Structure formats: structure tokens, C-alpha cells
Structure 1
Amino acid sequence: MDRRSFIKKTGAVGAGAAAATALAAPAIAQSMPKITWRCTSGFPKALDTIYGAAEVFAAAVNEATDGNFNIQVFAAGEIVGTLEALDAVSNGTVEMMHNCSYYFWGKDPTFGIGTGIPFGLNARMTNGWLYEGGGTDLLNEFYANYNTIAFPAGNTGAQMGGWFRKEINTLDDLKGLKFRIGGMGGKIIEKVGVVPQGIPGGDIYPALEKGAIDGAEWVGPYDDSKLGFNKVAPYYYYPGWWEGGVTVHNFINLEKWNELPKSYQAIVKSASALANSVMMARYDTLNPKALKEIAASGTQLRPYSQQILEACFDAATETYAELSAENATFKKVHDSYMGYRREGYLWQQLSEYNFDTFQMLQQRAGKL
């Protein structure tokens, strides 16, 4: 091949490469556009577990898009309050929120199921129902009525049963008590004589300290001690029967979601799943130490009596029947959720329960 022919051929290749580069740059720019969203958390920054999960999510989205998709996380109250956040996402004031759906159950009781309802699913089964049991699709069919779509982005696991100023031994001890409780648990505990109080997390301590309420539940040892509840109430009860596997969701404005490139939608889903996993891991890691510290500070741990648990279980069953009779959407989602519970405990009583029970007995014997 002579020199002139070689130059012609290599020049053509070079021109083709240059053209490909020119075409590739705009294509990449279109598939990874610069986007900035605001995410309002339902929680204060002091809670590095729940609030922190939103930061985990936002960081993962930013990293996966080389910084092109930036989600700014704001604590509850910085833009809107916890209880106003759904409306803000629905009307486009903010693009998304990281929050518990059960705060909005007053709009429709179906919102309660998204977070988890009393005597419902534990954390493992909740994830099973949401990811593989059709739960997320059912919920998003409902959430579309509020111009939102949601993905699981955190789970606390089974929570504690709350702080009280006095011992709670019988059903009579509950009558007339003003108790801060989130979600549908308030409607159910009301049936046994409690006066439920809906108070955001950041307002619980002063209400408990001033005696405006007689007791309060929040999450568990780590978060509760960070908020100082052990300083104003001596009795700490378990289990939190109303929150056996609490899911926090990323709620996104539906129009903003549909505007995202498919690749960004996939990243949001994956980053939400990461936050879901990390939050549970953090609680499992932080709660044991915090529980020991709370007990050492003088807090008295108490189990709810069987009488109280059974009365509340019956009240929950009665409540779900009432809601299902008057709300077809609630019934549809509830039937799926409770159907998963029935099958899930059939398996877990053979597997998780027996394994965990044996291990706990070894722990009590000082062998672990």
C-alpha cells in the first residue's frame, strides 16, 4: 500500500471516529441529564438511622449518575413538616419525600398498610410481601390517586412498646392514658381505653417532659435514647405490637417520576433498596448496645401482659373487619397483606422461630 492510499484510508477512519465521538456526547448527555431534586424527610437530622437512610439513598443516586442526579435531603420542618409532606409531594412543591405512609392514614386507612399495621408482618415478611408478594404494585396503584409512586427505602424491624410514667400491668391501667402513637395503632389502642395522641417525633420529648402525655412510643433503644425519653419516663415496654416491621418509603411526585430517563428510574429503585437494607442493618447493630446503656441508666424494662396483647389483637382484628366493610381499596390491599402473614408464619414457626429460640437460650446461659 502506498503512502497516499494509507493516508486516505486512515483519514477516513479518523473522520468516522470523530463523528462517532460527536454523536456519542449528546447521546450521553441526553441519557444522563443534570437534575436536582429536593427530598423532605419525615424525621429530624439527629436520627442518623431513619434520616440517615435518606442520605444513603441520595449518595447512591449521585454516585451512580456521576453526580448528574443530585437529591438534596432536608430534615422535617425545613421545607414542610412530617404530616404535610404528602401534600407537598403530590402538588409538586417538592419532588419527593422519605417518610412513613401511616402518618397519612387519616386520609385513607390504606396508607397505614404501606408502613405496617398492628399485628401485621415482621421485617422479613414485609420485604417479602413488598418485593415478591405484589405489595409494592398494589400500594402504587393506590398511591397513584395521590399523584405519587413509592418504593421501600428503610425498615426499623420490630419496635419497642413505648415509655410510660407508671407501670402498665392490666387493661385497667391503660384506661384514660394519653399516649403518643403513630399510624393505625392509635385507632386500635383507643378500643381498649387509651387516648391516642398524634405527635411528630421532634415534639415527643417536651410533651412527655411537661406531662402533656402519659406515655409515648417512637422506635427502639437507639433512637429513643437519642431523643432522651429515658430521662422523662422510667418504664419501657415491649413488644411494639403495632409496629412489627416498619417500612419507610421514598414517595415521588408521579409527573417527576415519569420525566426521568429509564436509567435514572432504575437507579432510584436500586438506591431505595440499598437504603432499605442499610437502615435495618444499622438498627440491628446499634440497638443492642443502646439497650444495655438504657438498662444501666435505671430504665425498667417490662413486657406487655398476655391479657393486654390478646385484647389489642382482638381489637385490631375487629378494626380491620370494620375498615374492610367500608373501604374496598383497604380490603384489597389488606387481604393480600394478611394472606402473606398467614403463609409467612406457617414457615417461620419452623425455621426462624426455632433457630432463634435455641440461640437465645444459649445467650441467656452465657454460651454466646
Structure 2
Amino acid sequence: MTTRRKFLTSAAIAAPAALAAPALAASTIRWRMQTYAGPALAEHVIKPAIDSFNKIAGDQMQIELYFADQLVPTGELFRAMQKGTIDAVQSDDDSMASPTEVTVFGGYFPFASRYSLDVPVLFNQYGLNEIWDAEYSKVGVKHISAGAWDPCHFATKDPITSLADLKGKRVFTFPTAGRFLTQFGVVPVTLPWEDIEVAMQTGELDGIAWSGITEDYTVGWADVTNYFLTNNISGAWAGSFFANMDRYNELPAHLQELLKVCMDQSHYYRQWWYWGGEASLRVDGTKMQLTSIPDEEWATVESAAHVFWDEIAAESETKAKVVEIFKKYNADMEKAGRPYRYG
């Protein structure tokens, strides 16, 4: 891996118009960003935003986008960004193993959300932004913004129609989700993202609990699994954009603002892409048969999640604060009723 670049100052940007083009080209700020997503998925979850940023920023700044594990393994993303080996990351906290008190809540924290809109509301209106900003500032990383992805469902070789069917199943999933699911007999398996399709074909894996049905179709997993479980353990994946703090602080204010705007546009894109895709592929998709665990049986999983929340809250003051926000938010949604919560 190459060492981080030392960028020129922005003084050249103030050069006379006649000299602006060559001066800007010579002083272009160049960042390297790695996403958790493979190429097919990145076409939707990150590439449009980076393409827009580069088009608008022009000679002032360009971001080189790398896909899952291209520069470093996903589990090393945080350390590489913190050291400045790469400049920015798109990931959840859990997958990139960030050494913060909020890491456990990234990705799929069991039943923390029911719908994708829950995530931005939790961050922007219920105080999670401030907690994430404080935690990452302590370790030299800028938390730019958080947003929602798809819900977490099982895609499996064999049909799942009861909790008993989960026992012994080797499943690729996120660290915290795996920790939660072990009580139901699931065997969490950690593999590089690009190896999952082959692992399903060879029998190394029995299933995947990493996404909703949109990703299953987009990345090819629907071609190697036979069933899709309609019950989910979370309504939306919570992920973020991060940057090395020194690199971020070196940017002029207008480029910092452009980063935020383009990241927010990425969050918006995913809101409708996933929401529409999850519905249309359940209705019109032809590659996986839908199965369900009865609601009364699945309710025991939701109850177990609340016990899990309390176990996490007992680990630290910051974790307890986040869990209290989840409890407050979900209680508010229940009281608000339809369309915020049903039944």
C-alpha cells in the first residue's frame, strides 16, 4: 500500500483566471475512498455520488473509488483510514472494526429500526449524530454522515419456516448480528465478500444474512440460494461515510460542504432504490421462493433482541446512552401509531 499523499495548499486556487486551469490541475486534491461494497452493488450505493462529486469538483478535487477489499480487507478499513493509507471509507462501524463505543450499533443492530427512514431520524433528530461525532473525533476520524440501506433477511439453500430450521445453519452475516443469532443455533461465518457466492455453491455456507432481496439479486446471491425469509432482524442497515480527520480538515470549506451534499444525495438514492426494490422483487422476482416464520414465533426473536439491548447497554455509559435513544425512539413510534408502526 502506498503512503498517503501530501497535498498542496489551496493557494493556487486563487490564481488569476488566465492561469487557473494549469494551476488547478497541478494542485488537484486526490483522495482514495474504499467502500464495503463489491462492484455490482457499488454501482448503486456509492458510485453515483462519487461521480457527481468529481464532476462538480473538477480540477479542485477528485476521489478515486475502490471496491470491497481492493486496497485493504474490510476489517482493516478503519485502521487504514486512521493512518492515512486511504483517505475515506464507506462502511458500517461493525464491519470495519472501528475501536469506538458505537461500533456494535453499526450495520444491523437487532430490531433497532423497522423502516429505512428510522435511521436518518435517529441520527438527525434523536442525537446519534452528536454521539458518533464525539466517538470518532477521539480517534482521529471524521464521521461525515450516516444513512440507511436495506433490511436484513436470510437467503438460504433450504426453506426456513420455523426457528428450529435455523439451528446449525452456517451463515455469512455481520459481527453483531452473528453474536445475536447464535442463541438460535446460527453459526456465523466470516469470509471475504467476494467469496460468498462460491461458498454457497461449495456448501461452505448454508445461507446469507447480510442484506435484503435487492442486494441478493444485484450481486448474484439470488442465483445460488433457493429461499428468502420474509422475517427480518432489522429494518435497515446503518452505514456511514468517514474520512481521515487530517485530510478532511485540510479541505477548503466549500469542498467539505460538497462532500456532505453528495453523501446526502447517496443516502437519498438508497432510500428509494432499496424501498422500491424490496417490494418489486418480492412480487415479481423469479429466483427465490418466499418463506416466513409465524409472527407469534418470530415475536420471541424480537423479545430476545430487547434482552440483547440491555446486555449491550451494561457494557459502557456511551452504549447505555445509545440504547436509551433506541428505546425512546421506538416507544415514540409505537405511540404515534400508523404509519410509523403497525400492530
Q: So what's the TM-score if we normalise by structure 1?
A: 0.79
Larger Rg computed on CA atoms: 1
Distance 1:114 1:180, change over 3 A: closer
Map Cα deviations across residues 317-346 of structure 1 (whole Å, 9 max, x no partner).
222212211222211222223322221332
The yes-or-no answer on 1:192 pairing with 2:181 is no
Pick from 23, 30, 36: which aligns with 2:30? 36
- Indicate whether 1:303 and 2:303 are aligned: no
Shift, 1:217, TM fit: 2.1
Q: Which deviates the most, 33-42 or 335-344? A: 335-344
Match of 2:151 in 1: 158
CA distance in structure 2 between the partners assigned to 1:260 and 1:337 by the alignment: 34
> CA offsets, 1:148-201, max 9 Å, x none?
122336532434x21222222333222222122114211111112211123343
Q: For the structure 1 residues 217 and 114, does the alpha-carbon distance in structure 2 shift closer, same or farther, using more than 3 Å as the test? A: closer
Larger deviation, residues 253-262 vs 200-209: 200-209
Distance 1:145 1:308 in 2: 42
The correspondence for 2:221, drawn from 217, 229, 242, is 229
Structure with the higher helix share, 1 or 2: 1
Letter in 2 for 1:248: G
Unpaired runs of at least 5, structure 2: 1-11
How far apart, in 1, do the equivalents of 2:298 and 2:308 lie? 15
Q: Which residue of 2 aligns with 1:17?
A: none
The answer for the alignment partner of 2:159 in structure 1 is 167
Q: Deviations over 1:202-245 (max 9, x none)?
A: 2221111111122112322232123333333322101322x312
Q: Measured at CA, do residues 27 and 123 of structure 1 come closer, stay the same or move farther in structure 2, by a change above 3 Å? A: farther
Change (3 A) 1:144 1:24: closer
Provide the rounded CA distance (Å) in 2 between the counterparts of 1:156 and 1:255: 28
Task: Supply the distance in 2 between the matched residues of 1:103 and 1:177 (Cα, whole angstroms).
Answer: 21
Supply the AA of the counterpart residue of 2:339.
S
SS in 2 for 1:176: coil
Q: Does 1:139 align with 2:127?
A: no
Distance 1:108 1:318, change over 3 A: farther
Instruction: Tell me which residue corresponds to 2:312.
Output: 323
Counterpart AA for 2:151: A
Offset of residue 353 of structure 1:
5.1
Deviation at 1:96, TM superposition (A): 0.5
CA contact (8 A) 1:136 1:151 kept: no
Matches within 5 A, 1:55-134: 55-104=47-96, 107=99, 110-121=102-113, 122-134=115-127
Work out the CA distance in 1 between the residues paired with 2:91 and 2:302. 26
What secondary structure is seen at the aligned counterpart in 1 of 2:30?
strand
Counterpart contact for 1:104–1:112, Cα < 8 Å: no
Q: Percent identity?
A: 21
Residue 345 of structure 1 aligns with which residue?
334
What CA distance in whole angstroms lies between the structure 1 residues aligned with 2:340 and 2:206?
36
1:336 equivalent in structure 2 = 325
Q: Say if 1:180 and 1:128 are closer, same or farther in 2 by CA, change over 3 A.
A: same
Tell me how far 1:105 sits from its aligned partner.
5.4
1:114-150 alpha-carbon deviations (Å, 9 max, x no partner): 4441111221121112122221121121122332122
8 Å CA contact 1:170, 1:307 repeated in 2: no
CA distances 1:41-62 after superposition (whole Å, capped 9, x unpaired): 1111111xx4533222223322
| Aligned counterparts of 1:158 and 1:318: Cα–Cα separation in 2 | 21
Q: Secondary structure at the match of 1:240?
A: strand
